[in-house]
Structure 1
Amino acid sequence: MSIKAQLTTTLLLSFALACSPAERPSNEDRDTGDVSVSDAKDIGSIEDEDGNGSQDDPTEDETDALEGCHYDCFGGYACREGSVYEFDYGALSCDEPGYDELVKGCTEGWLVGQCEFGCASEIPDLQSWEAHWTIACGRAEGPRLEVLPSSVRFARHAPPERAFQTLRLINVGQGPLILYEAPEYTGGVDFRIELPGADYPLTLETDQVLDINVVYAPRGAHAEQGEIVILTNDVRDPDAEDRTQAVHKVSVEANIEGPCIQADRYMLNLGSVPLGERASDSITLRNCGTQPLNVSDLVVIWNSASFSADTGSWNGSIGVNESASFLVHFTSFRAGTQLGKLLVSSDDPLQPEFAIDLVAHGAEGTCSNAVARASLSDGSVVDRQQLSAKPLQTVILDGIASRSVDGHIVSYEWEVLEKPPGANVTLGPVAGDDTLRTRQFRLTSVGTYRIGLNVVDSDGFRSCTQSVVTILVRLWNRKVQIELTWTNPADPDESDDVGSDLDLHLTKMGPGQWFMAPYDVYYNNANLGGDPIWNPESPRMEIDVTAGVGPEIISLDDLDDCQWYAVGAHYYREIFGTAYASVRIYVDSQLAFERRDMPMTTGGQFMTTGQFWDVARIHWKDGKATILAVDTSHVTSSVGQAPQVSENMSGSGLCTSQSLY
C-alpha cells in the first residue's frame, strides 16, 4: 500500500487531523486519489486509488517522511436536501452523540470533504496531491418522509397565466411510510393539487416516491398563499393527541417579485454505469419570477473528477416563464458508488445558491439502450423518431425497442424536453398498458415537441444516452390559417371533455354578416369540403372544439385581391367562469398576427347570447396580407350584423373591392 493511500486511510479512520491552512499546490502538481467508504459506523477495509485494501499503520520511515508535509482540509455533512453543515474532523462520525442535532434532522446523507497535501520530501509518492473522501451515513431506522422541494414558490401572475410544479414525497427511511389520508391543500383559491390515483392509507416502501402536481391558476393579480398537509407515521414531531402519527405541512406561495429559480430535480441519480463509459442526463432550470434570471455559475464542487456540467451554447440567461436545460456527465473510472455535488448560483435574491446532489455507481456491465418511437393514434404515422402532425392529433410513445445486453428493461423514464410556449403536455397512460413503456399525449399547439426516454435494466444499468422523439406540429398547406385557443383558470382539468366552448368566425366583408351563411364560416357553416363558396375563395373549418382549450382553426385559399376579411370569437357556452382567448393568424404557415388573453367573462347557451370579440381585419393584395387589430368586445347579439368598418381600415389607403369606404 502506498504512503499516499496510508495517509488517506489514517485521515478517514481517525478524523483527527490537526488541519492548518497552507498554500495549496497548483493543479499541475497534483495527482488525484479518491477513497469511498460505504458505512461510517463500520469502516472495514479501505481501498486506495489502486484498489488495494489495507489498514496497516505507516512504517517508521514513512512516518518520518510525513513530517515535512502540510495539508489543508475542508468538508461538511451533505444532506439529501442539499444543505451543507461544516464540522470539526475530530468530533463527528455517523454514530457520534450529537449527530442528529448537528445535521438538524437529516436522516440520510454523506460526510464529504477534501484534503490537499504538499510535501517537501524527495519521495516521489509524497509530492503534491489531493484526496477526496466520502462516507455514506446509514439510513435511520423507521419511516422518514422527505419532501422536495421543501416549499413551493411561484411568481405572482395575473390571469390567465398558469404554472405547475411537482412536489415529490420520498420515503428515505428503512421502514414503510404510511400516508393515512390523501395529501390536502388548504388556503387561497389560486392553488390546487393533483394526485395520482391511489387508495388511502397509502404505503411507500423505502425509496418509493409519490409525485404531487401543484397547479397555480390565478384569478386575480394579488399575492396568494396556502399549504399542503400530509399526515404520516413519520413521528419525529408527533401529533400531540396521537403520537403514532404526525402532520407535515408544505407552504405554497405566489408572491415573488424579481427573478426566481427552480430546478426540476434536486438529486440526480445516473444509476449504474459500466466502467470506462460516460452517462449523461439533463437538469432543467426554470425562471419562476417576474424578471429575467441570470445563472452565473454551474460548478461541481465535489468529485469533479467523475462529474461535470455541460451547458453547451446556453449563455446562462432565462427569460420570464422560460426554462433552460444543461447536461450532467458522469465518467465511470472505478467500481463503487460515486457521489458529487453541483452548486448553482444565480441572481435569485431569495435563493442565490443551491446544491444538487449527484449519485452514480461504477460497475462491470453494459449500458442499456433506450429507443423511443412515436406513432399517431389514427395509424397514419407509425414508429418514428421524427414526425410531423396536425393540431389535436394524439401521439403514442413507445419504448418497446429498448434493449439490455445483461438483463431486461424494468424502468422507463419519459421526460418532456421541449414544448410550444403555453402548451400543457401530460404524458398519460395508454389503454391496456399499465406499465410506463407506453405513454400518450394530445398536440394542442403549433410548434415543436421533444420527448426524451431513459431506461434501466434489471441489473440497475441505465441508458448512457437518452433517446429523443421530435414531433413538429404543422398547419395545413393553405394561404391563411386562423387559430383560436382559450383557457379557463377555474377548470380543474382542461384535458378532459368538460369545459367551456368558444367559437371562431371568419366573415367576408361586404356581403357577409356574423353568424350568417354562406359568408361567415364557423361551426354551423364549416364548409368541410373546402369548396369555393365565396367565389373565388375557398374557406373551411379545419377543427371545431366543443369543450376544452382548442384549438379551433379556419383556413382560407384563393383570396381575392382588394378584399377585406373579418375575424371574431364568440363565447358560446360558459363553464368554469371567465375564459381567456387568444387568436393567431398564419400567412404561408408563418405567424403574422397574435392577440393573447382577451377576457371573455360572459358565456351563453345560444348564438344570440354570450360575449363576442371582434378581433382583426385581413386585407389581401398581390399575394400579401395586411392585418389590422380591432380588439373590441360586447355582450349584445352580433347575429346578422355586418362587421364594422374600422377607422384603421378606412384610413389605411388600401384598396377595397366591396366599396367599404
Structure 2
Amino acid sequence: MSRTHWIALAATLALGCTETNESAGGGGAGGNPADGGVGGMGGAGGTDCVARLTFDPDPLVFPRDGTTGPREHTLTVHNNGDCAVPFESVTLTGSQAFQVRLDGRDPRRQPEVLVDPDGDGRAGLGAGRSANFKVLYTNPDNGAHVAELSLWAAGEARTVSLRGDADGRCLRAEPTALTFPPTGVGGGSVLPLTLRACGDAPVQIEALRFDGAPGFEAAGDPPREVPASGAPVELPISFRPRMEGALSGRLLVLSDDPLLPQLTVQLLGRANTPGCPQAVIAPLPEQVTAGTVVLLDGSLSQTDTGSIAAYEWTIIERPAGGTSAPVESYFNRNSPADGGRPDDVVTPQALFSPDLPGRYTVRLRVTDNLDVSSEDCGDATVSFLAVVDAGGRMQVQLVWRTPDDGDGTDLDLQLLHPQAGDPPDGALICDADNPTPDWGDAGPAHDPVLDVDDVDGGGPENIVVAQPQPTADLGAPYRLRVRYVADAAGSRPVVATVRLFAGGALVDER
C-alpha cells in the first residue's frame, strides 16, 4: 500500500492522504517515506482520511500585569481529523523571553519528545487527540515581547503568535540610567535617551520632571506622544553642572501608561573645575616624501567642558625657504603647489604638503567652548622628515628672500639641456614658460618637470628629472640659471639659494 498526501494551509493545518492497495510486498501501515507518507495513519485500502490541526489559544497572550517573574500558559494542539499527524520539529523566533516545553522537555533540543506527542504509544498526534505544550514567559525588562512558535508537520509549518505584556499602553526608556562623562563646571555634555512604546497603543507623555542635583535637563522640546509602532522617540538629556563633585538625579517621565504612570531614569555625573583642553595629534609617519600630502588629525583632542571649538595648525619648524602651510583642502591634490582652501579651524583635520626636503614640526593648539586654550597647559607637537625620492632622481630647488620687500619678488628657476645653445633654444629650457619640455627620444623619464612654481614671494621653485642622462654621452653638463623678473617698483636686492639633490641626498647648495 502506498500513500500520496496533500496539504492545505489556512486558519488550520490540514493534512490528508489517499490510501490504495498494492500488490504483495507493498508498504505497511506506517507508510513509505520515499513517497511522502505521513505515517501512523493505518486504515484499510481505499479509505480517504483527513488530519486537521488547530491551536488553542491562537494567539497566545500573556496580559500585562506589571510583574517580571515567570508565567506559564498551556498551548493545546488538536487533531480534529481522522488521520494521525507526525510532528517533525518546533521553532521559536523573536523575543527570547519565551520558552516551550512538552512533557517537561524542550522539543527544540530534544526532538525525540515529538515522536509520540499525545502519549498514546503510537507515532504522531492521533486522530481526535490533543497534545499540550507549555509556554513559559519571563519579562526581564518590564517591556513588551513578541515571538512566533512554529510547529512543523509533514514538511509544513503552523505558526502561532506569542505576545507578552504587549497589550494596551506601555512605555519604556532605553537606557534606564544615564552616566555622563566628567564635565567641567560651566560646561556641558549631552547623552541620548530613547522612549519606546512597548504595547499596541500610543502613549501620551504628560510631563517631564527632574529631581536631585541641579544641572540635568532636557536638551530640546520633550515629545508629546510615543507611537504604538515601536518607533523610537529621541529625548536627549544634558548635564550642565554648577558645582563640583559627584552629582545624581532622576528624570521622571509622566505618561498615561496605566501600570507605570511614572517612569524613572537614573542620572549620574561628575563635575570638575575646568582645566586646559588637551590637544592630541594622531600619529604621523616619521618620514614622508616631499610634495606628497599629509593628513593632520586632531579629532582625539579632549576637554572637560564638553566640546572643542577651534583647532589651530601651525608649522613651527621647516627647512629654510619652505613656505607651505596647512589647508582645509587642495584645489588639486595631485599638485599641492597649486594651493588650496584655507584651513577651517572648526574642523579637527587639515592637509599639509612639505614643499622642501628637511625636518618639519607641526603644532596643534585647541580652544574649548569656554575659550580656554591648550596653550596654558602645553600644545601638541609632532615632527617628521620630508625626503625626496631615492634612485637616480635629480632635483633642483630655488628659494629666496627679498629683504626690502615683505611681499617678495619673482625669480624663475631654469634648467638647460646639455645641448642647449647660447642663447639657448627655448625647447631645451625647462622653466615657467615651458614646465614640461620634451627633450628627445630617450623617453619621458629623462625629461624635466617644473612641479613647483612660485610667481611672487620666496619660493620654492622645483625642477625634477626622474632619470637624468649621462652628461659624458651628451658632451656637456646640465646648466642652471635663475632669472630675476622685475616689477613696476623696479629691481630690489634678493638673496637666493639653489639646492641640488641626487638620489634623495643634498649634494650641493649655493
TM-score interval w.r.t. the shorter chain?
0.3 to 0.5
TM-score of the superposed pair, with normalisation by structure 2: 0.35
Higher relative CO (Cα under 8 Å, sequence separation at least 6) belongs to 2
Rg comparison, structure with higher value: 2
TM-score by length of 1: 0.28
